[in-house]
Structure 1
Amino acid sequence: MIKNSDINPPVAKKIAHQLEKHNDVRIDNYFWMKDREHPEVIDYLNAENEYCDTQMEHTKDFQKDLFEEMKARIKEDDSSVPYKYNGYWYITKFEKGKDYPIYTRKKESLDNPEELLFDCNIMAEGESYFKLSGISISPDNKLVSYGIDNTGRRNYTVYIKNLETHEVALDRVLNTTGSSSWANDNETLFYTKKDEVTLRAFQIYKHRLGDNTEDELVFEEGDDTFGVAVYKSKSRKYIIIACYSTLTNEYHILDADNPEGKFKVFQPRVRGLEYSISHYDDHFYIMTNLDKATNFKLMKTSEDKTEVENWTEVIAHRANVLLEDIDIFKDYLVIGERKNGLNEIRIMRWDGSEDYYLPFDNETYTAYTGTNVDFETEILRYGYNSMTTPSSVIEFNMRTKEKTILKEQEVLGGTFDKDNYTSERIWATAEDGTKIPMSVVYKKGIKKDGTNPLLQYAYGSYGATMDPYFSTVRLSLLDRGFIYVIAHIRGGEYLGRNWYEDGKLLTKKNTFADFIACSIHLIKERYTSSQHLYAMGGSAGGLLMGAIVNDAPELYNGVIAAVPFVDVITTMLDDSIPLTTGEYDEWGNPNDALYYNYIKSYSPYDNVEAKAYPNMLITTGLHDSQVQYWEPAKWVAKLRDVKTDGNKLYLKTNMDAGHGGASGRFESLKEDAEEFAFLLDLEGILS
């Protein structure tokens, strides 16, 4: 099947497989790679790994140096800022030389003895992958439920631990999302089950502690374009079931004091009606796009009249401000907004006596509310960072307006000084005249003469906004002369909800055109040149990478596509694949000929041509549940077969991980080091 040597890359065998839809026939020569159990598939992935390792052998020492450099900047014996919940202070910490977090708590006072909840380093022993998630403490503080994933497929088993005896109960549930919520009786646990094949979260069950009978199914989502979740309101009064799709929401509520009761529909789903709910006092507060409120507005309604006709307006819709989230306190309402791409935090007193914004003076930054679990406080906890400023956790007294920095991220190693770096926001012009913002960071003293290596990153899907953020890992590029750019392209929500709407479904190609326009602008303004320009994206951002190398390969010297979603049309036609049915409102349903033809016109795998492509490093995980490993594997095989250049093309598969890569904090740095070595090697920088 495979020819492999120190020089020649693996060559995958071809087995013509005919795919037909809407009288259109496609031939997929690598369809056979979908069988993850087939020895030849594993052989091919291993051969690609061996080829990548052999070709990058000369960078191995450099990769080790980069890894140690990145690791040296991290405070290994670190801990989170404690937060108080229901009488206990909760702390997450890391110990020197250890990969995984340790979760502890202290009763009432931080001066009291520390109680160990979980040491994930011990729990992860013998596991090639480990992830603990969904920690949920019972109201009496005696029990904790939690989820564990040992494969990377985000398929968790839920366990229950007695915090007095430290015994793990025999009760356990397979195929869950990992999260669960306790009713107020300390005995009833609600959790979400996943479909074993598609991994769609579609059922809510009720588990009674110590009850040997089968758990009770309390809700099942029959529409396969929806997923479900269950959680407890911040007020602790309600258990809430959330039903969600790309365009539509529906919630069901149950008094947490009455776990044997029946859930009540909050507001029945109406296609296109998006809303989310927060409970306070005797009202629910609703963020919604009702009545064409594209950027969302805030409404409220009484607990006993939750249908839409009872909603009244609190904050009106604004065309130039995106309402992103709210945080409710006894005396204050805190609103997270986005205006002209920048985060704003607005604070309002319920009695109407004050309404003001926190001041931020950077040109490009990220600010967000943090862990605020207490109603009875005038203290707001929020986070702040920028591309040049390490992350800070800040407490702000909403009454006195006094600010206390609780923690600023330490950058060890002795060489970092934020004054040595510059960040700016610049704008490119897309083909249709739209102005596209970019956040840029580089080391001071760099001349814009077209010779600088530049890494351009973007995502551009699902309305996910890539805010400008600080990264200690990124310093390894900046200190070697790289410029780093985040392109805020359409498909995200950087400039409001319309920014998202204009980069999905039948306008998806705007996402790709925007990225290319940004590249052209960066070259034109001599930040870099095509000989030194690099692009990177992951998952849906990997689709972006696949599209730009098909559309404008000549602009880039190198591309990194991480876990790339590149076989779009075939995946979206296969409703047995995890996530497919829930994605129809994002990409379109190709069972409709209109969407089929549009998706096919940009699907990277279907549009590979006999032409020159940039140097490329493509990564995946064998157990990826979000983007199946065979998409990048097939893409690489096809590229190898038809591309006309002699540039590097590497496929690296993590055989033990899923969509997020390695699970340990230091193991993931090794993947970063390999990616950076790939880029730096192309620039002739190996020290």
Structure 2
Amino acid sequence: MTTETAPPAAKRVPSERTHHGDTVVDEYAWLAAKDDPETIAYLTAENEYTDARTAHLAALREELFEETRRRTRETDLSVPTRKGGYWYYTRTVEGQQYGVQCRRAVRDGETDPPVSADGAPLDGEEVLLDGNLLAEGHDFFSLGAFDVSPDGRWLAYSTDFSGDERFTLRVKDLTTGELLPDEVPDTFYGTAWSTDASVLFYVTVDDAWRPNRVWRHTVGSAAAEDVVVHQEDDERFWVGVELTRSEKFILIDVHSKVTSEVLVIPAGNPTGTPAVIAPRRQGVEYAVEHHGHRFLILHNDGAEDFALAFTSADVPGDWVPLIEHTPGTRLEAVDAFANHLVVSLRTEGLTGLRVLPVGSDDAHDIDFPEPLYSVGLDANPEYRTGQVRLRYSSLITPDSVYDYDLVTRQMVLRKQKPVLPGPDGRPYDPTEYEQHRDWALADDGTRVPISLVCRVGTPRDGSAPCELYGYGSYEASMDPWFSVARLSLLDRGVVFAVAHTRGGGELGRRWYDQGKLLAKKNTFTDFVACARHLVKAGWTASDRLVARGASAGGLLMGAVANLAPDAFTGIVAQVPFVDALTSILDPSLPLTVTEWEEWGNPLEDPEVYAYMKSYTPYENVAAVDYPAILAVTSLNDTRVLYSEPAKWIARLRATAPEGDYLLKTEMGAGHGGPSGRYDAWREEAFINAWILDRIDRA
């Protein structure tokens, strides 16, 4: 990299806070003032500095962007999904940033979804919503709700033009194409229709951006007339709303990190009083699915990895076991169809699907051929069906959509995401790549899985560069996924690896529990163990290894930078939660109180305070030789505030000034970064160019 440009100087304004007798000085707290012109000027200066420091990578960025674009079929059509009398699908058009939501009427005798070989509109297509038209005049666009009423007449949809995840909800008459005067500002994700489509339920947030209210809106009325159906006052809990697949019940899901409660309203009686399926009990989680005369209950009451039970839909009461708890087999969801249940599960680190015919003991698991893969149900809105739509991929297999016959057990590939020829003109050939499952040994003797992909013939002598990705929080699993942009790294000899650290859900609920609260440091030491193992096993060397993570994975990046700076040549931290202690100490911030059951409550518990202070990246910056660090954030992010990485980079420069630290702030986006697909490709090209530069493969 060039060294001619000096980084912007962040002024140091000491600000003190005291908790549990401990006084902390924060010199960069002023950066949290988003509306202060001085803050914006500083972030702009950081962007200019980053632009100057990476100017030599402009040609490589463009090359990587064009490789992604060239390999992608830009004009394309998703596999249509049937609901009622229509096939619903999304089209993309070359040169356009956003998808076009469409439908086409089902024709007589038509059972298979219609196809379009070249991605052109289907004959008889009806455009429901064009994201490109909605996004005109805006730098950012995101679609929140997209919910067609049971009778197919109304479309409820919501839009966000800043990235702060506060949406404006509208209703469109699909018979005339006209928008109704109904308009509800500041809504959140989640909507549900009544049976007769006269009533729409939606969710709003409180001042801390916690989804806390479910509302009932009568179509054609003013938002001022809407009625609160449920309000959750316990700040640990958030709410959601949905219509069951059977379209018989509205479900109001109330959930904290460790406890849940579900309320139901008959969809045919939308003004009815919500009834509780089972009162909340601390530490007991359950989810509900309607099936005939019963509610299916997926729960962890005495079942660490969850069990499946049912109770009466007429008078909910005792839970009758249906699938007993099996340690090591984590039940994650149940989907009910008229004659079958499909259970989503994971065992030995892999996802799976189990089919249970109603009234029969002939349950079976669906088999898949690869040693590493991800599988899950796709959109399946029809309750009375004999087949299900599923989505499958691996590190070398592009996203694939299958229809599976629940009776004959036959699986039909409807579409595999096209991967067009790369720069050399050759078509994508998965046999030119290989994927592996390896295991690292953590400090406490725990075996930690690693998923890897590389080109066939990649040397195992430590000479190959490697990107190691990690997350490790919230029981989220980083299951193998295919990436077109990643091919540009693999074809340049880079190994891509995922560290499945504790705190994630790859190996069940216990794996998650061993990486949260006062065991959170296991996430960080597991990741370092994976990095050390990759070097020891000859996959790479420390001076050719780049770590990458986002959000809570960004916390992981900051923690391992402090814990083992010698293990990496570079670290990419996207929307990183690197000032976790400051944020979790402030209950007025978005998500803080709901997060206490994940991290602990440092306000009330001195042990939690001391523990978090011992690992939070910002608090533990030291005068050591750090690897190069690229932090990427967004000004309008409400989940991880932009100020966290901004402060972190400023403190790194002040404390360890010999390092190479860059901050890139998207000035008009949210937690997910740029919203348009081309903008997202350019963002990925920027990061990948930086990675290739660090490992001398540019």
Structure 2 SS opposite 1:678: helix
1 CA distance for matches of 2:151 and 2:433? Answer: 49
Whether the aligned pair in 2 keeps the contact of 1:147 and 1:179 (CA below 8 Å) is: no
Matched, 1:377 2:385: yes
**Residues 183-236 of structure 1, C-alpha deviations (whole Å, 9 max, x = no match):** 1232211110112x3111101111112224521111110001111111111110
Q: Name stretches of at least 5 consecutive residues in structure 2 with no aligned partner.
A: 108-113, 115-121
Pick one of 76, 79, 90 that aligns with 1:78: 76
1:497 aligns with: 509
Matched, 1:36 2:47: no
2 CA distance for matches of 1:335 and 1:266? Answer: 21
Pick one of 391, 409, 424 that aligns with 2:417: 409
Whether the aligned pair in 1 keeps the contact of 2:543 and 2:695 (CA below 8 Å) is: no
Structure 2 SS opposite 1:76: coil
2 CA distance for matches of 1:162 and 1:401? Answer: 40
2:48 aligns with: 50
2 CA distance for matches of 1:685 and 1:482? Answer: 8
Pick one of 124, 144, 147 that aligns with 2:135: 124
2:290 aligns with: 279
1:668 aligns with: 680
Pick one of 600, 622, 633 that aligns with 1:609: 622
Whether the aligned pair in 2 keeps the contact of 1:334 and 1:348 (CA below 8 Å) is: yes
AA of the residue aligned to 1:624: D
Q: Name stretches of at least 5 consecutive residues in structure 1 with no aligned partner.
A: none
2 CA distance for matches of 1:395 and 1:185? Answer: 30
Residue 84 of structure 1, CA deviation:
0.7
2:252 aligns with: 241
1:301 aligns with: 311
Give the TM-score, by structure 1 length.
0.97
Whether the aligned pair in 2 keeps the contact of 1:11 and 1:640 (CA below 8 Å) is: no
1:201 aligns with: 211
2:241 aligns with: 230
Residue 47 of structure 1, CA deviation:
0.5
After TM superposition, the structure 1 = structure 2 runs for residues 549-628 of structure 1, keeping only pairs within 5 Å, are 549-591=561-603, 592-628=605-641
2 CA distance for matches of 1:563 and 1:378? Answer: 43
AA of the residue aligned to 2:578: V
Residue 644 of structure 1, CA deviation:
4.7
2:111 aligns with: none
Residue 148 of structure 1, CA deviation:
0.3
**Residues 343-394 of structure 1, C-alpha deviations (whole Å, 9 max, x = no match):** 1211121121522111123211111111222122211211111111111111
Pick one of 153, 169, 190 that aligns with 1:179: 190
Structure 2 SS opposite 1:217: strand
1:151 aligns with: 162
**Residues 463-511 of structure 1, C-alpha deviations (whole Å, 9 max, x = no match):** 0000011111100100001000011110011011100000000000000
Residue 132 of structure 1, CA deviation:
1.2
Residue 336 of structure 1, CA deviation:
1.4
1:92 aligns with: 90
1 CA distance for matches of 2:437 and 2:221? Answer: 58
2 CA distance for matches of 1:350 and 1:211? Answer: 42
After TM superposition, the structure 1 = structure 2 runs for residues 344-493 of structure 1, keeping only pairs within 5 Å, are 344-413=352-421, 414-493=426-505
**Percent identity of equivalent pairs:** 41
1:162 aligns with: 173
Stretch deviating more after TM superposition (110-119 or 394-403): 110-119
Whether the aligned pair in 2 keeps the contact of 1:611 and 1:644 (CA below 8 Å) is: no
Matched, 1:138 2:181: no
1 CA distance for matches of 2:242 and 2:660? Answer: 47
**RMSD of aligned Cα (Å):** 1.2
Residue 445 of structure 1, CA deviation:
1.1
1 CA distance for matches of 2:360 and 2:176? Answer: 49
**Residues 53-95 of structure 1, C-alpha deviations (whole Å, 9 max, x = no match):** 0011111111111111111111101111101112211011101
Structure 2 SS opposite 1:123: helix
1 CA distance for matches of 2:49 and 2:166? Answer: 31
AA of the residue aligned to 2:609: Y
Structure 2 SS opposite 1:512: helix
2 CA distance for matches of 1:555 and 1:191? Answer: 48
Pick one of 246, 249, 255 that aligns with 2:266: 255
2 CA distance for matches of 1:114 and 1:590? Answer: 55
Stretch deviating more after TM superposition (112-121 or 544-553): 112-121
Give the number of equivalent residue pairs.
677
1 CA distance for matches of 2:341 and 2:218? Answer: 36
Structure 2 SS opposite 1:347: strand
Give the TM-score, by structure 2 length.
0.96
Whether the aligned pair in 2 keeps the contact of 1:136 and 1:179 (CA below 8 Å) is: no
1 CA distance for matches of 2:507 and 2:227? Answer: 44
2 CA distance for matches of 1:463 and 1:188? Answer: 35
AA of the residue aligned to 1:601: S
Whether the aligned pair in 2 keeps the contact of 1:148 and 1:178 (CA below 8 Å) is: no
1 CA distance for matches of 2:247 and 2:406? Answer: 23
Matched, 1:526 2:538: yes
**Residues 377-425 of structure 1, C-alpha deviations (whole Å, 9 max, x = no match):** 2112111111111111111112112221000111012342100001010
2 CA distance for matches of 1:624 and 1:246? Answer: 21
Residue 302 of structure 1, CA deviation:
0.5
Whether the aligned pair in 2 keeps the contact of 1:566 and 1:604 (CA below 8 Å) is: yes
2 CA distance for matches of 1:94 and 1:365? Answer: 26
Structure 1 SS opposite 2:485: coil
2 CA distance for matches of 1:568 and 1:348? Answer: 43
2 CA distance for matches of 1:353 and 1:574? Answer: 52
1 CA distance for matches of 2:285 and 2:468? Answer: 33
1 CA distance for matches of 2:123 and 2:539? Answer: 55
2:342 aligns with: 334
Structure 2 SS opposite 1:473: helix
Matched, 1:509 2:521: yes
Structure 1 SS opposite 2:419: coil
2:118 aligns with: none
1 CA distance for matches of 2:697 and 2:666? Answer: 26
Whether the aligned pair in 2 keeps the contact of 1:80 and 1:93 (CA below 8 Å) is: yes
2 CA distance for matches of 1:623 and 1:680? Answer: 29
1 CA distance for matches of 2:462 and 2:341? Answer: 49
AA of the residue aligned to 1:641: A
Matched, 1:7 2:20: no
Whether the aligned pair in 2 keeps the contact of 1:426 and 1:439 (CA below 8 Å) is: yes
2 CA distance for matches of 1:522 and 1:287? Answer: 38
AA of the residue aligned to 1:13: K
Structure 1 SS opposite 2:407: coil
Residue 140 of structure 1, CA deviation:
2.1
Residue 266 of structure 1, CA deviation:
1.3
AA of the residue aligned to 1:210: G
Whether the aligned pair in 2 keeps the contact of 1:6 and 1:51 (CA below 8 Å) is: no
Stretch deviating more after TM superposition (333-342 or 677-686): 677-686
